Amino acid sequence: MNLSKADVLHVARLSALALTEAEADRMTGEISAILNYVEGLSVVDISEPGQDGAALSPTLLATDTPAPSLSTEVALAGAPDHSGSFFRVPRILEEGR
Amino acid sequence: MKNPFFSSLAEFARGRDERRFSIEEVTRYFLSRTEALNPSLNVCLSINQNAVNRARQIDARLVRNKADSPFTGYPVMIKDNLEMEGYPTTCASRILSGYVSRRTATAVARLLSHGVVVLGKTNLDEFAMGSSTENSAFGPTRNPWNPSRVPGGSSGGSAAAVAAGLAPLSLGSDTGGSIRQPAAFCGVLGVKPTYGRISRSGLVAFSSSLDQIGPFAGSGADALEALVAMAGKDPLDMTTVDRDPAEMRSEYQSTEIGGVRIGIPEALFGEGLDDSIRERLRNLRDSLSGEGAREVSVTLPHSRYGINVYYLVATSEASSNLSRFDGVRYGFRVKNPADLRSMYEETRDQGFGDEVKRRILLGTFALSAGYQDAFYRKARKVQALIRRDFLEAFRQCDMILTPTSPTPPFAFGEKTGDPLSMYLSDVYTITANLAGLPALSVPVGVDSHGLPVGAHLIGPPWSEGRLLRMADRIAGLYPMPLPEVHAGHVDGLSEGGRR
């Protein structure tokens, strides 16, 4: 399966990655090559009923036990930008999307 | 190079208890060796400035109380995708610059509670994505056997640390071969445990259904003790299984090499395998037969699709796991973004390296509307077939032998231009992750160019003890020296790959 550059830019938007033009060109070829390889799977017969996936043991859910969480101070300690008890990010209201 | 104090964990514990050396002395020895060799090998991304203090505290405690674990005072290094409270965790990525961990990975915490001294954090392919450690934002690690060759990856720093004698034990993580392939390339033992054996809490997630933490060590016996110390149920990782870690020790002790049935998937010894590696493994097979082990022919018909499945399942999970790196809560953020959307997109574009971006894009595509059934879901179904092949094979044999890597350690840059050829480095190791099985790589000498060759053993679920017993027998048959590494050995090369 060969992706077009437009496909790659669409997936990049879904991935929240701003690719440069050069990156998008290069990735289009590389990802198409990888997809062509992994598509070798299409010949495998999966008609037999079988479990989806391959977990060794079923994953259990944790019991819902209340416990203290990170303090605001600790949660903000590594933030690139914060204000009071908030993470600060660029304005979103004017984005218009 | 062998350290002057001990050659095994047991010998360390004896020497410590008989006061033949202090923990401070041992710690200082490894730190100064690291200081001397790190500029050329680029093994460590950070050195623990508190290591000597901790060693002194342990020495002070040992004056009053006997050590309660063989690990008390034992030096270790950990891969820099494992968190340790108060220390940076970079995952060898620009996007985590400035990040300081607020918690300690369970596996590390358990070793610390046994008294280990963490010397430093080791280099890796960014977010553990790669097979050569060339994808590190801080430059590649050099192979201690030959500095023009890669150490393998993604846990290349941890493998090289043990090979170069910078630490007798290190931790890595293995999602498709990231412990075993560098172990083979660096001529040391590396173990990926059964999925669920060791908690992944505090390991920065790449592909959560495949990731496992495991040790690099000088012997199976040492790796065994590290596994026992780290294993067991952890409420912070619901995929951990409630089994007694000591079962590994009992199986190690009860396994007899004579009579072990070794499964040989003959197809995996054919086309695509380097001749010199095939010859070493032929030699190993003959030696093991001489020890009374019995070869059984097995087939793993779906293993040939391992790479295909892996690059859909692992990238899908990675695309989700890595969505947390967005420049809001920690790490790197671009300066003066125009708006919120461009802050996310540009932070991620500048913060992630090429391989990480490639995998995020591939995984996002495999999960996207219209393609999910043909790619991700199909891959999960074939994954189940790969696992079924193994479980059927294990009805006839106790473990399966394959090469660890199709090639010897390759040269820098040899595969970086062709992602697919890099992915094929993991062709023998990847299926153990897809099937959740324990597996290890043990050195079986060197090839015609003097580069290490690894043998790969895969066992049924929870059979780590048996595999490690076999690894120690193999180590007895193929004693592996550590390479002689000298400071300045690789002058002029160390800055080459930095970006």
pLDDT in tens, B447-468: 989 999 999 999 999 999 999 9
Give residue A52's pLDDT: 53
- Whether B489 has a pLDDT exceeding 80, the answer reads no
Q: With residue B262 as reference, give the H or E element that holds it.
A: strand B261-264
Q: How far apart are CA B58 and CA B64, in angstroms?
A: 10
Interface list for B 354-413 with A (CB within 8 A) = 354, 357-358, 360-362, 364-365, 368, 374-375, 377-388
- Nearest CB neighbour to B238, from listed A54, A61, A77: A61
In a domain, A18, yes or no: yes
Contact A77 B238 (CB under 8 A): no
* B154 noted as active-site residue: yes
- Whether A97 has a pLDDT exceeding 70, the answer reads no
* B79 noted as active-site residue: yes
A54 contact residues in B (CB cutoff 8 A): 380, 383-384, 386-387, 434-436
Give residue B227's pLDDT: 98
Q: What is the DSSP letter of B234?
A: B
Summarised one tens digit per residue, pLDDT across range B260-319 is 999 999 999 998 999 999 999 999 999 999 999 999 999 999 999 999 999 999 999 999
In a domain, A50, yes or no: no
Interface list for A 48-67 with B (CB within 8 A) = 50-57, 59-62
A42 contact residues in B (CB cutoff 8 A): 374, 378
Chain B: give the shortest CA distance to residue A29, in Å. Answer: 11
Nearest CA in chain B to A51: B384
Q: How far apart are CA A33 and CA B157, in angstroms?
A: 30
Nearest to B457 by CA among B439, B433, B478, B436: B439
Summarised one tens digit per residue, pLDDT across range B156-204 is 999 999 999 999 999 999 999 999 999 999 999 999 999 999 999 999 9
Nearest to B423 by CA among B287, B315, B278, B319: B315
For residue B494, name the pLDDT band (cuts at 50, 70, 90). Answer: very low
DSSP B350-401: HHS-HHHHHHHHHHHHHHSTTTTIIIIIHHHHHHHHHHHHHHHHTTT-SEEE
Give residue A63's pLDDT: 87
- Nearest CB neighbour to B368, from listed A14, A61, A78: A14
Give residue A1's pLDDT: 86
A51 contact residues in B (CB cutoff 8 A): 384
Give residue A61's pLDDT: 85
Chain B: give the shortest CA distance to residue A1, in Å. Answer: 11
For residue B330, name the pLDDT band (cuts at 50, 70, 90). Answer: very high
Among candidate residues B93, B170, B178, B319, the one labeled active-site is: B178
In a domain, A84, yes or no: no
Summarised one tens digit per residue, pLDDT across range B82-114 is 999 999 999 999 999 999 999 999 999 999 999
Mutate to test the interface with A, among B309, B378, B381, B387 (most CBs of A within 10 A): B381
In a domain, A17, yes or no: yes
CATH, residue A29: 1.10.20
A13 contact residues in B (CB cutoff 8 A): 345
Is the distance from CB of B430 to CB of B176 less than 8 angstroms? yes
In a domain, A82, yes or no: no
Is the distance from CB of A61 to CB of B238 less than 8 angstroms? yes
Summarised one tens digit per residue, pLDDT across range B366-418 is 999 899 989 999 999 999 999 999 999 999 999 999 999 999 999 999 999 88
For chain A, how many residues are written? Answer: 97
Tokens representing B448 are 């015609």
Token pair 């892996």: residue: B310
Number of separate domains in chain A: 1
Q: What is the DSSP letter of B98?
A: T
User: Complex ipTM, two decimals?
Assistant: 0.92
Q: How far apart are CA B196 and CA B388, in angstroms?
A: 18
pTM comes to: 0.95
Is the distance from CB of B436 to CB of B194 less than 8 angstroms? yes
In a domain, A12, yes or no: yes
Give residue B482's pLDDT: 85
Q: Which residues span the domain enclosing A32?
A: 5-43
* B233 noted as active-site residue: no
**Which CA distances in Å does B243 have to A58, B223, B466?**
14, 18, 16
Q: In whole numbers, what is the pLDDT of chain A averaged over residues? A: 87
Interface list for B 206-245 with A (CB within 8 A) = 209, 235, 238-239, 241
In a domain, A20, yes or no: yes
DSSP B5-56: S-SSHHHHHHHHHTTSS-HHHHHHHHHHHHHHHHHHH--EEEE-TTHHHHHH
- Whether A83 has a pLDDT exceeding 80, the answer reads yes
Give residue B1's pLDDT: 61
CB-facing half-sphere around the CA of A56: CA atoms within 13 A: 24
Q: With residue B212 as reference, give the H or E element that holds it.
A: strand B212-217
Q: Does A75 touch chain B (CB under 8 A)?
A: yes
Domains for chain B: give ranges and CATH numbers: 9-301+384-477 (3.90.1300.10)
Summarised one tens digit per residue, pLDDT across range A16-39 is 999 999 999 999 999 999 999 999
Cis peptide before B154 (omega within 30 of 0): yes
Give residue B487's pLDDT: 75
